[in-house]
């Protein structure tokens, strides 16, 4: 459903993995500190169940999935009932976790040497909506620019969009979501997400 490769999905989710952080920690520090932890997990195991636990325990707390889903759904979000909105959030979250787990479980990924440069934060310290810019360098490949759009919440900074080489992860889904709603309404989109998530769990 998205044009980004599994490797880009991996980095777009993995770099903000880590324990939930107090809002007092700057978002660029959060990203930089989290890199070592997730790379260690990649090196430690290729077991899919273990890596899924990494996704659920370390990634989910640092993402604002409701805002991500709202942006991906666009105008269709307003057409959805509260119950449908909840179902869309759950479906989109599961889809991204499945993609993350699949990317992590590729043994070839663990053989690559990686480094990440986190650029200084451009926004004022008082800002509540910031973009953390990073450059991923990987052996055998060209550097990849990945930017994290983050909101300040009471329980810490949360990612609500990721831009890979300037392409937004959430808006990259919007045309697909629009097509599904046009064919089968909001319930059709929910069913499509459920089907893809069911297939992802079996793969």
Q: Tens of pLDDT along 122-133?
A: 766 567 899 989
Q: In what order do the strands lie in the sheet with 144-153?
A: 114-118, 129-138, 144-153, 156-164, 167-168
State the CB neighbour count (10 A cutoff) for residue 141. Answer: 11
List of E strands, 57-143: 114-118, 129-138
Domain containing residue 69: CATH number: 3.10.450.710
Beta bridge partners of 150: 130, 159
Q: Is 74 left (phi over 0), alpha (psi -120 to 50) or beta?
A: left
The total of structural domains in the chain comes to: 1
- Compute the average pLDDT of residues 35-63: 71
User: Can you tell me the mean pLDDT for 68-84?
Assistant: 96
**Nearest residue to 58 (alpha-carbon basis) of 103, 17, 8, 108:** 17
Q: Taking the model in full, what pTM does it have?
A: 0.76
Rounded percentage of the chain residues whose pLDDT exceeds 90: 28
Report if residue 120 sits inside a domain: yes
Name which of 101, 118, 111, 128 is nearest 33 in CA terms. 118
1 assigned to some structural domain: no
Residue 71 burial (CB count, 10 A): 19
User: Mean of the pLDDT values across residues 131-140?
Assistant: 82
Q: Between 18 and 26, whose confidence is greater? A: 26
**Coil, helix or strand at residue 134:** strand
pLDDT surpasses 50 at 4:
no
- For residues 42 and 193, give the distance between their C-alpha atoms in angstroms, rounded to a whole number: 27
At 36, the pLDDT band (50, 70, 90 cuts) reads: low
Residue 142's pLDDT is: 81
Average pLDDT over residues 34-54: 69
Domain extent, residue 80, equals: 6-202
Mean pLDDT, rounded, for 39-59: 71
């Amino acid at each position: 459903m998205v044009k980004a490769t599994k490797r880009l999905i991996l980095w777009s989710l993995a770099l903000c993995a880590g324990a939930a952080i107090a809002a007092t920690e700057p978002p660029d520090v959060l990203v930089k500190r989290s890199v070592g932890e997730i790379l260690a997990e990649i090196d430690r195991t290729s077991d899919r169940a273990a890596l899924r636990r990494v996704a659920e325990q370390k990634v989910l707390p640092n993402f604002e999935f409701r805002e991500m889903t709202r942006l991906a759904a666009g105008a269709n979000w307003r057409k959805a009932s509260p119950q449908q909105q909840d179902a869309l959030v759950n479906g989109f979250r599961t889809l991204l976790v499945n993609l993350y787990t699949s990317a992590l479980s590729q043994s070839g990924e663990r053989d690559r040497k990686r480094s990440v440069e986190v650029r200084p934060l451009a926004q004022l310290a008082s800002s509540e909506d910031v973009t953390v810019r990073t450059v991923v360098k990987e052996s055998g490949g060209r550097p990849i620019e990945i930017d994290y759009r983050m909101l300040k919440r009471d329980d810490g900074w949360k990612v609500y969009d990721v831009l890979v080489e300037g392409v937004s992860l959430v808006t990259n889904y919007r045309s697909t979501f629009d097509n599904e709603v046009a064919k089968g309404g909001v319930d059709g989109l929910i069913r499509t997400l459920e089907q893809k998530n069911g297939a992802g769990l079996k793969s």
